[in-house]
A = this chain, B = another copy of it.
Amino acid sequence: MVSGAAMAQSSVTVYGVADAGLVLERGGAAGNVSKVTSGIASGSRLGFKGTEDLGDGLAANFVLENGLGIDTGAAGQGGLLFGRQAWAGLSGRFGAVALGRQYSPWYKTVRDVADPFCDGLAGAITSVFAANTRVDNMVSYASPKLAGWSAELAYGAGEVAGDASANRTLGGSATYSEGPLTVVLVHHQRENPTATAHSRNTLLTARYMFANGFTGHVAHAVNRDLLGNESKDDLLGGTVRMGASKFIASVIYHQDDSAANHDARQYAVGYLYSLSKRTDLYTAYGHVNNRNGASFKIGNATDSGSGVTGVNLGMRHVF
């Protein structure tokens, strides 16, 4: 039983993002759509988190983060209450261990290092690259940083009775980050529910922050799906900061090595203007050229989109 006395010492930070705007989707199969929608630059969310200092550098940590559609009031991630993140763990000099529904090392790398759009707006990297966003029943370990090097390991239990490997997820990343340079090698693989095949994604990416406000991004991914089809993804992009303004651009090439040869190229540009440290206005344009019947669409941080062209205009408020 949890004592009432302990409960009275509240130690929770309530935080979130309210992101709303207009999205024009052009060139979709069912026709054009204009949306008043949510989470275009960053997914709209409401979170609860806390850290308790246990002494000797040890801390207990938790995060409960809901994703929401501010356009409809519905919970995101298929209706999950804390569909973005839900975990508890311990951190200390040994690194950090956490259990729960967590971002995969793969996704944190594509969002935070590879993509100048941070997987948002009409240039979102996961419109083309594999997302592998979150893993349920996950145990993660993040090492401390040593001479610029750090590593993450992730295991997602499949929880299939009688077969411990069915539905299991494995992931890991190695990062070198020193001054303006960050390089990450990350791998993600998932067994199917009968443990007869697994998908695999491997990514090498680098980001360099130049002194003049320009940041360059480059990424190369190698993929194999459950049927054994192989493909490669490449990204080249960058951002420029000038006062309250930020310009973003990226180009993504998808090369399908299967017989279908579903290649594609995505081009995107974006512009953000900061009204404050917590609030910005944004606009972006993205277009994808699908070859040989490929069906990539321009999405954003929340929506996978319906058209080959997307235009964004909106506001993001962080609280």
Contacts and interface: CB of A to CB of B under 8 A. Distances in A.
A138 B36 contact: yes
A73 B62 contact: no
A116 to B, nearest CB: 10
B42 A70 contact: no
B32 A64 contact: no
A54 to B, nearest CB: 5
Interface in A1-54: 1-3, 6-21, 28, 30-38, 42, 44, 46-48, 50, 52, 54
A317 B58 CA distance: 13
Contact of A14 (B10, B139, B317): B10
A161 B32 contact: yes
A306 B162 CA distance: 12
A209 B73 CA distance: 35
Interface stretch (A75-83, A226-234, A250-258): A75-83
A94 interface: no
Contacts of A15: 7-8, 10, 12
A319 B138 CA distance: 22
Contacts of A306: 161
A80 B84 contact: no
Contact of A88 (B6, B20, B83, B159): B20
A195 interface: no
A23 B140 CA distance: 17
B279 A101 contact: no
Contact of A317 (B83, B88, B163, B279): B88
Contacts of A8: 13, 15
Q: How many copies does the complex hold?
A: 3
Contacts of A50: 319
A73 B77 contact: yes
Nearest to A47: B7
Q: Which of A1, A13, A19, A37 has the most CB of B within 10 A?
A: A1
A142 interface: no
Given A7-B318, A13-B8, A87-B20, A164 B34 contact: yes
Contact of A315 (B12, B47, B90, B279): B90
A137 interface: yes
A278 interface: yes
A130 interface: no
Given A16-B64, A36-B138, A52-B319, 11 more contacts: A2-B17, A7-B47, A19-B88, A20-B99, A28-B161, A36-B137, A46-B48, A54-B276, A64-B68, A72-B137, A73-B101
11 contacts: A6-B318, A16-B48, A31-B163, A32-B162, A34-B159, A36-B159, A44-B88, A52-B276, A58-B275, A72-B86, A99-B315
